[in-house]
Structure 1
């Protein structure tokens, strides 16, 4: 029996959209795919024409996904993850120095990737592959060599190291802090846009932070909402408002000065969950896994 061929748009246009949706930047997508920003724009226009719907709101200094783009981006990323995994399974298992690390896209882009060069300098013989996904994976069965996950802990049948917990802290661009009469106290947030991360509303919401800061005249629900932490960080970098972010996730931008804490460092609230390193118990002494575990525990122990 013959299968009906699946209707698909050009693979290159899907790949261009997936990269641009992750980065919210044509330029960064072009760099990742080793093409020009114009080529990315052309491929996405081809995809939008094929679909008959726009995928991005093209703003003056930023990109925002449309409802159609938002609905499909995560599924498409997971699809490319599966294609990549299938391709790796087709290759001979000769490369014992390839280490696959599964992390959420937010943790990968905001915390892990900015530090990877230090790992490569210490362990130049270990090739690292970052599998950026939020889906459940089983390191014990070989879905990845190791994983880093955010949660309450209590993972079973794997080795666990607690990396760090975080504190929710407001961050913004220096321009936002200095705009108008300035952002000097939490009460001043009444005249600024609050940027929200949907999935953190249960433990790191603006409502919780404002109550802890003793502020009652600022609407804790106003402002745009983002399904991904890295999107809220991007909006803060672009001067679109003040984001409430886990301090560790903002550390790289704070150190560079691209983001600032507008208020005293003490005005932060602890988050309930933590990040954990997961590895197979029976492969913990494998050189590449042991090397990465030693390195990531050392990075996690550094002071903010």
Structure 2
């Protein structure tokens, strides 16, 4: 059998760790909601058990001795790991609903159609979808997972690549388009993105295709990308769309992607905090999101 650990009292260890981190008995006392005298007594107890001084007491400050410098980082790491483990257990026990925030279009076109598959596989988990084109602060608990398009920066969040977008010409098969030159006689559908720096539109496509005679300003203009997709399905013209977001229409034949070139876009990322990654419910939603993209 393993031998029993010979450890000093937890209260003494916590008092030393807080005092060493702040280099102040007063600030350690404020953090632990005790008096500075209590911190001093706990540290003295620990020093007596160890048989070594851990602090040098100056007139208005303290500093670590070599023994204190040796002990502090290991003790701090251990208490941090202890706190994380408790938080993860608490999250696993208490969390019942997981909130996913994603752009409005991604939510409507990729997540909502896949809710049935989520319910079938994880019937005991609750899912909330928060559609927003504005970034949500995950560190404040507004959502558990975010799906965002682009390269960030994402700060301290854990970012996992989910899907690389590709852009191309799509239209209703009723238009009968089979060659780029036919666009000269067709209406073009335009959409104004909320992030113009990420937009890949007709001007970029014209430059890649070499179809210099194409008037990229003419046609129908929409402020909502979903409306532009609906107009393309209705046969009102050809649009430049993210192919991943019209995958269902392409599969069902409501839209066709008749010719290239295809423009490489950026990546959709899964974003989480390090803490929520340890939650079993969040892991289930993360697996569902990955399966949704692969489907």
Deviation at 1:160, TM superposition (A): 0.9
Say whether 1:257 aligns with 2:290: no
Deviation at 1:209, TM superposition (A): 0.7
3-state secondary structure, aligned to 2:246: helix
Give the aligned partner of residue 146 of structure 1.
145
Deviation at 1:114, TM superposition (A): 1.8
Is the 1:140–1:157 Cα contact (8 Å) retained in structure 2?
A: no
* In 2: Cα distance, 1:185 partner to 1:194 partner: 15
Deviation at 1:227, TM superposition (A): 2.2
* In 1: Cα distance, 2:94 partner to 2:168 partner: 42
Give the aligned partner of residue 238 of structure 1.
234
* In 2: Cα distance, 1:225 partner to 1:286 partner: 44
* In 2: Cα distance, 1:187 partner to 1:297 partner: 38
Q: Give the gaps of 5 or more residues in structure 2.
A: 1-92
* In 2: Cα distance, 1:204 partner to 1:296 partner: 25
Deviation at 1:262, TM superposition (A): 2.0
Matching of residues 1-304 of structure 1 within 5 Å: 96-176=95-175, 178=176, 183-199=177-193, 202=197, 203-263=199-259, 266-271=260-265, 273-302=266-295
Q: Give the gaps of 5 or more residues in structure 1.
A: 1-93
3-state secondary structure, aligned to 1:130: strand
Deviation at 1:109, TM superposition (A): 0.9
3-state secondary structure, aligned to 1:149: strand
Is the 1:187–1:217 Cα contact (8 Å) retained in structure 2?
A: no
- Which runs of structure 1 show a deviation greater than 6 angstroms over 4 or more consecutive aligned residues? none
With normalisation by structure 2, the TM-score equals 0.64
Deviation at 1:236, TM superposition (A): 0.8
Change (3 A) 1:259 1:225: same
> Once the two structures are superposed, what CA deviation does each residue of 1:137-184 show, in whole Å capped at 9, x if it has no partner?
1112101111111122330121111111211111111212x2xxxx12
* In 1: Cα distance, 2:136 partner to 2:286 partner: 18
What is the aligned length?
201
Is the 2:110–2:292 Cα contact (8 Å) retained in structure 1?
A: no
Is the 2:188–2:220 Cα contact (8 Å) retained in structure 1?
A: yes
Is the 1:148–1:275 Cα contact (8 Å) retained in structure 2?
A: yes
* In 2: Cα distance, 1:227 partner to 1:276 partner: 24
> Once the two structures are superposed, what CA deviation does each residue of 1:269-290 show, in whole Å capped at 9, x if it has no partner?
112x221111121120211111
Deviation at 1:226, TM superposition (A): 2.0
